[in-house]
């Protein structure tokens, strides 16, 4: 029994002296492992007489349990000390700002709106907006659309049910009504850019019932066609980010301008991509003209004193040409994958000096 007391004292002392988990495990193996000292004494019970086993059995089991408990207690203490050390040395500074994970994309239509506004903003244009639901005066009559014009028919325009005694309202077919509203309420000089949604009864790969348009209007004294051409050529060069562009202004007809012209630019196709500015083919890119004297008079501006020019283009089509999107319909399908592919980081604001795209 005195030997057991000595073994216990030595074993508990070794456990208490273990400085780390590796040292503690070495003590456990030396005392309680298969070939350990206490395990060896347990094996001697089989060769003892019944009277000796009755005395030594409880004594050896008690010794083994006390050493096992001491090992477990020491292990818990060492693990706690190690964790505390890590907490002190590996502390996280919670005052640091988190890393920002970019999320979301700016739709190509909005990106192109921003690019167009940036270019014309440098030319002195300001943005004007108006309602999507218009009356006959602002959408047709003030803009010199005669009675019976195809645009006034239901196959081209979305009409609302008329109120009693009044002409039916329409979803605006262009943003030109905003030009009328500005001319009615503002004295020249006027230089505005009018972006927004417009609606026409059409649907295919390059047309949708709702699309986006931007129009420009300049009303001043002594404005002529040369100003219009210079303004639009400069815009196309800036927008498509090319050094030069070959353009032509082809005579056309619009009720609200006279003379009227469609602007064509040279382009070439390289694979599936279109390069604007040079090539052997012509592409119509926008409509334009000098504001019709009847429109000026309808809006309360003297056409003998003031002249002006106007232009209009489809934002969706500009985006298709510049960024290589083959079909207009996915613009409006709320496809997150499509937006991630074609979209833009919203904080990269385009500017003429800093870069558009």
User: Distance (Å, rounded) from C-alpha 271 to C-alpha 155?
Assistant: 37
Q: pLDDT tens-digit profile of 287-335?
A: 999 999 999 999 999 999 999 999 999 998 898 888 888 777 888 888 8
What pairs with residue 312 in β-bridges? 215, 287
Query: Would you call 298 helix, strand, or coil by DSSP?
Result: helix
First CA to last CA across the chain, in angstroms? Answer: 90
Phi-psi domain of 57 (left: phi exceeds 0; alpha: psi -120 through 50; beta: other): alpha
Burial 201-215 (b: 16+ CB within 10 A, else e): eeeeeeebeebbbbb
Strands (E), 44-127: 126-127
Longest dimension (CA), the chain: 134
Answer for the pair 281, 268: CB distance below 8 angstroms, yes or no.
yes
Predicted pLDDT at 103 = 75
Under 8 Å between Cβ of 307 and 221:
yes
pLDDT digits (tens, 9 = 90+) for 239-287: 999 989 999 999 999 999 999 999 999 998 887 778 888 888 999 999 9
Pairing between β-strand 210-220 and β-strand 133-134 as defined by DSSP bridges: unpaired
258 is known to lie in a ligand binding site: yes
The torsion angles phi and psi of 229, rounded to 5 degrees, stand at: -65, -45
List CB contacts of 312: < 8 A, sequence separation 6 or more: 174, 175, 176, 213, 214, 215, 216, 286, 287, 288
């Amino acid at each position: 029994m005195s030997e057991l007391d000595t073994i216990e004292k030595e074993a508990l002392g070794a456990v208490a002296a273990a400085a780390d988990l590796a040292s503690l495990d070495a003590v456990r193996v030396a005392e309680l492992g298969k070939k350990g000292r206490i395990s060896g004494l347990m094996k001697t019970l089989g060769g003892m007489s019944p009277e000796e086993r009755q005395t030594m059995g409880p004594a050896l089991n008690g010794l083994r349990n006390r050493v096992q408990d001491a090992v477990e207690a020491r292990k818990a203490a060492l693990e706690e000390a190690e964790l505390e050390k890590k907490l002190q040395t590996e502390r996280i500074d919670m005052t640091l700002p988190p890393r920002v994970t970019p999320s979301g994309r700016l739709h190509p239509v909005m990106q192109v709106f921003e690019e167009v506004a940036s270019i014309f903003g440098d030319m002195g244009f300001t943005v004007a907006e108006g309602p999507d639901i218009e009356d006959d005066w602002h959408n047709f009559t003030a803009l010199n659309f005669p009675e019976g014009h195809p645009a006034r028919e239901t196959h081209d325009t979305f009409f609302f049910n008329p109120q009693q005694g009044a002409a039916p309202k329409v979803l605006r077919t262009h943003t030109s009504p905003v030009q009328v509203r500005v001319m009615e309420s503002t004295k020249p000089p006027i230089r505005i850019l009018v972006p927004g949604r417009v609606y026409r009864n059409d649907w295919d790969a390059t047309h949708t019932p709702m699309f986006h348009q931007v129009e420009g209007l300049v009303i001043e004294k002594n404005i002529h066609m040369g100003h219009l051409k210079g303004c639009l050529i400069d815009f196309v060069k800036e927008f498509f980010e090319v050094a030069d562009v070959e353009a032509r202004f082809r005579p056309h007809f619009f009720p609200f301008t006279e003379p009227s012209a469609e602007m064509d630019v040279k382009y070439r196709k390289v694979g599936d991509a279109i390069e604007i500015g040079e090539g052997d083919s012509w592409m119509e890119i926008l409509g334009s003209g000098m504001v019709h004297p009847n429109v000026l008079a309808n809006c309360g501006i003297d056409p003998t004193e003031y002249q002006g020019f106007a232009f209009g283009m489809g934002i969706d089509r500009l985006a298709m040409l510049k960024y290589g999107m083959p079909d207009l319909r996915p613009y409006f399908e709320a496809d997150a994958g499509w937006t991630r592919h074609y979209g833009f980081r919203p904080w990269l604001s385009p500017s003429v000096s800093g870069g558009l795209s």
